[in-house]
Amino acid sequence: MRPEERIAAGKSIRDALTAFRESVNQKGTIFSTDHWLLPKLEQLQQLLTEPITQEEAEALLDVRYQRHFLEELIEWLERGRPVSWENFFTYRANLKQEELRKRADERERRRAAGLHPYFDTKIFADECFPKISDVCPDCGSSDWKPIAYGLPTEDTEEDARRGHVVLGGCTIELGDPTRYCPACFNSWPTKPDVSKPAGRPEWIEQQIVESRAEYAQLSALADSPPAPEEPVVERAWARIDRSVRFLVSFGDNKTVVAKNLEYFRLGGAPSYNPGFLSWCTYDESRRLSTLAAVAALRFGRTHQPERHNLYNDWDKVQAHRRELSRCCDEDSFQREWEKERRKKLTELLKLARAIPERLPSVVSVRSFEQDRKFLVRFPWGVVGVKRHRFSLLEPLEYRCTSSCTRDEDPDLAQNLACAAAMLAEFPRLARAGRRPPGSEDSTAASN
């Protein structure tokens, strides 16, 4: 009998599921193992109606022929068949859209309230980030957008559609800008570009020659009267690397022309690079790009670019990095640490000399490679002390391995235990006038 006849309306659940199980792993049907399939068939046994309906039979066949997943069938049944099997997938997609929309609304609400759109708690401390401008370093607009890097999630895509973030591409590198200004197309902070162009010497030589030719061509165009449709340069900003950005307007549409000096520094000419003209066709964009470059060159002849944030906030990033590296200086950390330990040893020795009668007796000493373990006896019991040597040149560390809570003064007891261990290791220290091991610049007292 064909599966279509065995999995049909009016058949018992058991028969239909048996037929289903027998028909897997054939050409055009789902692949499955018993380990995976049997628990799901058991679920179906509970969820299907007895005898099975026309709709259920169709759903089972859909799964059999890989038109839908078995999990989807189970989901449909578990949700109590909110709509027909046929409409279930549109229904589910709509629900998901609705869910996405709700989440985006909630993020919008949080943004409006000045909260982080996703988190209630602060995961990263403010000190981890450089404090960069809250207005665009070029045009001064406060209407900037965060740049979201990485493969966007559905939520990020929705936020981008709503204009809360701009997508920055899949990869992020240290030093990539984090903010974008839609008004003047500036992203910041950006590293000044003073690196030499990459490439083989012959190729760079050729670029230098070409930069001169292109510049001569643009210059000639700028010498003649402007074309009727030549765009207007609204403003221009200088950068510390001596590049200039011109904001160029074609009426409703704008772009930015960047004047770069990478070949100029090597003996070539400045290059004028217009941004992407998203609103026009490829051919038109080539023509308009040239017009934009000419307008920028002409503007540069008569106007000084504005100079208010020459570093485009990169100076703030650098200052922050210097500050971070100063705090994270490992050497200074190490020095502090050693100082602490020397101080501790001196205190232990003072304690031992001040109240020798209260020192516990050391009952055993064992060595483990560089370390030692002592057992010391108080009237109320025995505790362990571990002596650790980090390296030959560093002070020793004594640490009580028990909390000594049975003593009236647990902290004092711990120190007494450590002091007793230290004197057991260096008996000569008991006499006044000697300093504890490692409290000088070397651990001369050892052995």
Interface residues with Zn ion (CB under 5 A)? Answer: 136, 138-139, 141, 181, 183-184, 186
Residues with Cβ within 8 Å of residue 83, at least 6 apart in sequence: 91
Choice between 136 and 317, CB closer to Zn ion: 136
Least CB distance to Zn ion at residue 248 (A): 14
Q: Which two tokens stand for residue 421?
A: 């261990």
Q: Shortest CA distance to 196 belongs to which of 242, 262, 269, 259?
A: 262
C-alpha distances (whole Å) from 293 to each of 248, 281, 364 are: 9, 18, 86
Least CB distance to Zn ion at residue 289 (A): 21
| DSSP conformation class of 113 | T
Task: Concatenate the DSSP letters of all residues of 266-302 into one string.
Answer: GTS--EEEE---TTS-HHHHHHHHHHHHHHHHHHHHH
Choice between 250 and 374, CB closer to Zn ion: 250
Q: Are 309 and 137 in contact (CB under 8 A)?
A: yes
| DSSP conformation class of 306 | B
| DSSP conformation class of 429 | G
Instruction: Return phi, psi of residue 81, to 5°.
Output: 45, 65
| DSSP conformation class of 7 | S
Least CB distance to Zn ion at residue 136 (A): 3
Q: Rounded to an integer, what distance in angstroms lies between the CA atom of residue 395 and that of residue 169?
A: 51
Least CB distance to Zn ion at residue 228 (A): 29
Choice between 96 and 307, CB closer to Zn ion: 307
Choice between 186 and 443, CB closer to Zn ion: 186
Choice between 181 and 376, CB closer to Zn ion: 181
Q: Rounded to an integer, what distance in angstroms lies between the CA atom of residue 269 and that of residue 136?
A: 29
Helix, strand, or coil (residue 23): helix
Least CB distance to Zn ion at residue 112 (A): 23
Least CB distance to Zn ion at residue 299 (A): 18
Q: Rounded to an integer, what distance in angstroms lies between the CA atom of residue 50 and that of residue 404?
A: 71
Choice between 235 and 287, CB closer to Zn ion: 235
Could you give the residue ranges of the DSSP H alpha helices within 130-233?
Answer: 154-161, 201-223
Least CB distance to Zn ion at residue 306 (A): 12
Choice between 85 and 237, CB closer to Zn ion: 237
Helix, strand, or coil (residue 67): coil
**E strand or H helix at 327:** helix 314-327
Least CB distance to Zn ion at residue 147 (A): 14
Choice between 30 and 183, CB closer to Zn ion: 183
